[in-house]
Every structure is written in structure tokens, then in C-alpha cells.
Amino acid sequence: MKVNIVDTTLRDGEQSAGLIFTAAEKLSIAKNLDKAGVFAIEAGIPAMGKDEQFALASILSQKLTPQVIAWNRANINDIQTSVDCGFSCIHISIPVSDLHIQYKLKKSREWVLKQFGDSLAYARSLGCRVFAGAEDASRADAQFFLQVAEIAAGMGAERIRFADTIGCLEPFKTYEMMQRLVKSCALPIEIHVHNDFGLATANTVAAVQAGVTLASVTVGGIGERAGNASLQEVVGVLADMPGIYTGINPARLPELANIVSNACKPRMSQAL
């Protein structure tokens, strides 16, 4: 079974506290992710502003082999900004748990379904490939997650991200949930977990064992709060599992890790 590696070092990884990659660092990381053989690179968020757009346009100009993806909220302005930046691969994310729908969005499930469908349809109308994202899916009603996936599939989405946004999963629960969802979901599932309990790699591997074929990771596990699943750890474990391959060249990982590690080092002000 092929497990496709979706690297989000340049998006979720950069959400580590105090971390800002320069445009040159982002380009170097993207090039080395390509050399390592990742399936997709989630490169950033064009809606963040001009500096981000400049860095992302530089990455797009390289015509890298992996899918190079822009992350977007489910609104037309975000999507249009990504397209104007040059992206044709668009990730569109929306909260799906009742907690986030009620307290973050202050909306209803019905609003989520319509807003998501309209956003996906808009991106498709611009000729984009679209990938769906379900935020806080680990605390969502499973049937509603499947309903969101069905809407996304109907709009031409190619996969859906199951996001453990607050890092509350553990491996046994992950395996049980994914085993059920994989059988019923209208789209291939991408697992995206956070490391708040120190279980991000274990949860990702459990999801793969349950049949998930896309794994979201970051180099060294960097990311928001406690971080994400580590590219090196996930690939290392999967390489030792019979019948599973990722297409990652392990010989390229040390250089990639060094590049990201150097980019993460604190920078002293020149005035000091």
C-alpha cells in the first residue's frame, strides 16, 4: 500500500511559537522536500499578506514535482488570493466539530455545509484542484464528518483531511475511528494530528494501519503548540512495516532536517 506523505512544515510547522521562515529558507526547504520525495507540499497561506505571497510565488516558480498547495479558510477572498498568487492546488478548511461551529464560527451545521460547498465550487470554477480539510474532526460527530466529505466529493475534492486539531487522540481510538471512517468516507482520508500527548507519530501510524493512505507531517515534528507528526519518525516506522511504502528517499532526510533545524534557530537582533 502506498502512503502519500503530505508535508506541512511550511504552513503548520511555521506556526511554531516565534518561528518565521525567510523567503530563502522556505524555498530551500521546499526544494529539499522535493528531493526527499514527498507527495505534496503545503506551502503556506497567501491570505497572510504580501511577504508570504512573494515567498510562495518563488516556490511555485520552481515547478517542483510534488503538489504545491495553498491553505485557505472556506471563503472566497482567501481562495481568490491563492489563485492570484499562482496556485492551482487549493486546500480549503472548515471546522466540523459542534464546539468549533458554535463557539468559533457562531454558526450552524447547515451553514458549514453550504459555506464549504460554495467555497469548493468557487475554487473548482477557477480551474483548481481542491483538497478538503475538516478542522477539529477528532471531536466532531462522525456522521457529520462523513456528510462534509460527501459534499466535498460532490464538488470535486480529491481527498479530505481529518484534523486532530487539539491533539486529543490516542492510537487505539485513532485506529478504531479510522477503520470505520475509511469504509464509509466518500473521499480518501488524510490524517493530520498534533502532538499534545506525545502521540502524533503513533496516531499517524495507527491511522495507516487502519487503511488511511495520506499522512500529514512536518520535518522534526515542528508545529503549533506541541507540534505535529514527525516526517522522519513516520517514514521510519512505515518503512519497517511489510507492504507499505512512502516513496521517501531516507538518504535525503538528514540534509532536510539540518536545513529546517538551522531555519528554526533564534535570530539575534543586529542592534544587540
CATH number at residue 215: 3.20.20.70
Decide if pLDDT at 271 tops 90.
no
Decide if pLDDT at 270 tops 50.
no
Cα angle 80, 113, 120 (rounded to 5 degrees) comes to: 30
The alpha carbon of residue 146 and the mean position of all alpha carbons in its chain are separated, in whole angstroms, by 19
Decide if pLDDT at 272 tops 60.
no
pLDDT (tens digit, 9 = 90+) per residue, 1-41?
A: 999 999 999 999 999 998 999 999 999 999 999 999 999 99
pLDDT band at 226 (very low <50, low <70, confident <90, very high): very high
Residue 146 backbone phi and psi in degrees, to 5? -65, -35
3-state DSSP assignment of residue 54: helix
**Rounded-to-integer distance, Cα 149 and Cα 166, Å:** 20
User: Would 87 be classed as within a structural domain?
Assistant: yes
pLDDT band at 265 (very low <50, low <70, confident <90, very high): confident
pLDDT (tens digit, 9 = 90+) per residue, 66-94?
A: 999 999 999 999 999 999 999 999 999 99
- Per cent of the chain over pLDDT 70 is 98
Asked if 56 and 70 count as a contact pair (C-beta separation under 8 A), the reply is yes
**In the prediction, which pLDDT does 269 show?**
46
Average pLDDT on 255-260 reads 98
State the residue for C-alpha cell 458549514: 112
Domain with 186, as residue range(s), is 4-261
* Distance spanning both ends of the chain, measured CA to CA: 53
Average pLDDT on 243-266 reads 96
**In the prediction, which pLDDT does 252 show?**
98
Decide if pLDDT at 202 tops 60.
yes
Residue 190 backbone phi and psi in degrees, to 5? -105, 125
Work out the mean pLDDT of the chain and round it to a whole number: 97
Decide if pLDDT at 142 tops 60.
yes
DSSP one-letter string for 183-213: HH-SS-EEEEEB-TTS-HHHHHHHHHHTT--
Please state the domain count of the chain: 1
User: Would 29 be classed as within a structural domain?
Assistant: yes
Asked if 229 and 221 count as a contact pair (C-beta separation under 8 A), the reply is yes
Decide if pLDDT at 177 tops 70.
yes
**In the prediction, which pLDDT does 267 show?**
58
Which CA distances in Å does 49 have to 26, 52, 56, 130, 196? 15, 6, 11, 21, 29
User: Would 266 be classed as within a structural domain?
Assistant: no
DSSP one-letter string for 144-164: HHHHHHHHHHHTT---EEEEE
User: Would 272 be classed as within a structural domain?
Assistant: no
**In the prediction, which pLDDT does 125 show?**
99
**Rounded-to-integer distance, Cα 238 and Cα 233, Å:** 9
